[in-house]
A and B are shown apart, each in its own frame.
Chain A
Amino acid sequence: MADQTLGDRLDAVIDALIARGDASGSLRDQQLAPLARVAADLRHYPNRDFTARLRAQLERRTNMTTAVGNPDEAGLHDGNPAEAGLHLREGFTTVTPYVWVPDRGFADFLVRVFDAVETRVADNPGHGIHREMRIGSSMMMIGESGEPNRPSRPIALHVFVDDADATFAKAIAAGGTSIGDPADRPYGERSGFIRDPYGNSWYIATPLGPESLAHHLRSVTPYLLSRDVRGYIEFLVRAFGAVEEVVVGDGSDIPYARARIGNAAVEFGSADPMPGSYFLYVADPDAVYEQAVAAGAKALAPPADVPSGLRIGFVEDLLGNQWYIARPA
């Protein structure tokens, strides 16, 4: 009987702990108090389904490290992906936006607005012009088709500059359209949003204070839009060994998320997709290509050696983004 009574009293304490996190009512009960202390600690007992799931996620990432390269956050600024067998040209990370436009007007826009510097240009007969531009610490690739009627593949980009207001004004003067005037944002930046003449969205930001997202990003970061951000990140985890870093919000309302693919950050927001193209540098394109297809990506062309020295394969993801999976020359 005494045990039964103690069992009831213990149960009431556990109910109070679960509801209010409070077991103070038990402290004067000498029989109950030691059990209540154990119960209070058990509120922090990890869900074993969670610890097993996280372990499996980390295991996948350790397995991917040799295939995609070491996702070294510090490497955004001064790391050396070559340590993981991935030899990138200066300024490049594992993910580089590849913007398809009909002509060189887009490159001119980047120079005029962002003081971009052209670092490489190559004429590929039959395929248009390949151009590489540096904006701050980041690289962008541009494909100029030379075909005015060929549709562009606009994307969204988050760019950090010294003076968001001044750059925003330059973007408008260069033909951009405002989709959000500069304002101080609660996430630690002053930013204004524009659409450039080629349909790309630019979130032009200047960091405000030590909490700014800028501390996790280079000067230009792809901003991938999806109506199912969490599902898309899960796909990127399976396809490319992406590592989820931040997800703000729940369900279909995820205003912001960030993940890392190799040593490159990518950001996400809930909106209609803007399917674009991205260059993905990896150490083993064949393995990553197979993994991406196994994860549900559409196979466009398997990896092959091309004259420029790259080995490159192409897939299209669930949102229509095309990924050029390449081992550098």
Chain B
Amino acid sequence: MDVTADDERLLIEAAQADPARFLELYDRYVDRVYSYVSRRTGGRAVAEDITSAVFEQVLTHLPRFEWRGVPFTAWLFRIAANALADHWKREGRTSPEPPPDVPDEREYQNLERRVSLFQLVDRLPETQRQVIQMRFVQERSIREVAAALGRSEGAVKQLQLRALENLRKGIGSHG
């Protein structure tokens, strides 16, 4: 579902006035931030730590965010970029890519596509979703997934194929 700039502004102003409304902002942006961070880090644990730090900071600083021609997303991704830079500095190394920056138009479109994809995953038939979760999140082998689901490896490969075909079609119709 697309959100208009007015909707976004109302949501942010509501969260500024009532911290409990912050969770609505979180629900809207967590996949975008995680995806942005994940592409720039090596592992899920690090991406999760940085994403946590980003939302903690957003919650801390939101009362001071002001609409002065800067979109909320630019502000949000600036915090994420700084969190990444802090992480690399703590690790004592420079960025594996050029210094992090807020997404440009092209990357933002890619982020939106990925977020749509993730929403489609959440709506997959349960067994297909479990296969995606185990293969991509838990990084388990087909054999391990088959054992966990009590199915043959061939059946799990079919489920995996069907899931990805469903997602590809869903993304195609989405875009």
Contacts and interface: CB of A to CB of B under 8 A. Distances in A.
A25 to B, nearest CB: 16
B108 interface: no
Interface in B48-96: 48-49, 51-53, 55-57, 59-61, 63-64, 86, 89-90, 92
Contacts of A186: 92
Interface in B116-172: 117-118, 121-122, 132-133, 135-137, 139, 141-142, 154, 157-158, 160-161, 164-165, 167-168, 171
B77 to A, nearest CB: 15
A47 interface: yes
B157 A11 contact: yes
Interface stretch (A57-65, A192-200, A280-288): A57-65
A265 to B, nearest CB: 12
Interface residues of B, number: 54
A47 B161 contact: no
B170 to A, nearest CB: 9
Given A46-B118, A59-B23, A3 B171 contact: no
A59 to B, nearest CB: 6
B52 A54 contact: yes
Interface residues of A, number: 51
Given A42-B132, A58-B55, A70-B63, A3 B137 contact: no
Nearest to B39: A44
A14 interface: yes
A311 B147 CA distance: 59
A244 B158 contact: no
A243 B56 contact: yes
Most buried by B among A47, A48, A211: A47
Nearest to B142: A11
Interface stretch (A32-40, A129-137, A174-182): A32-40
A51 B30 contact: yes
A237 B115 CA distance: 30
Given A10-B157, A55-B23, A59-B23, 18 more contacts: A4-B154, A15-B141, A18-B135, A18-B139, A38-B167, A41-B113, A41-B114, A42-B117, A44-B34, A44-B38, A45-B132, A45-B136, A46-B34, A50-B48, A58-B55, A62-B20, A243-B56, A245-B56
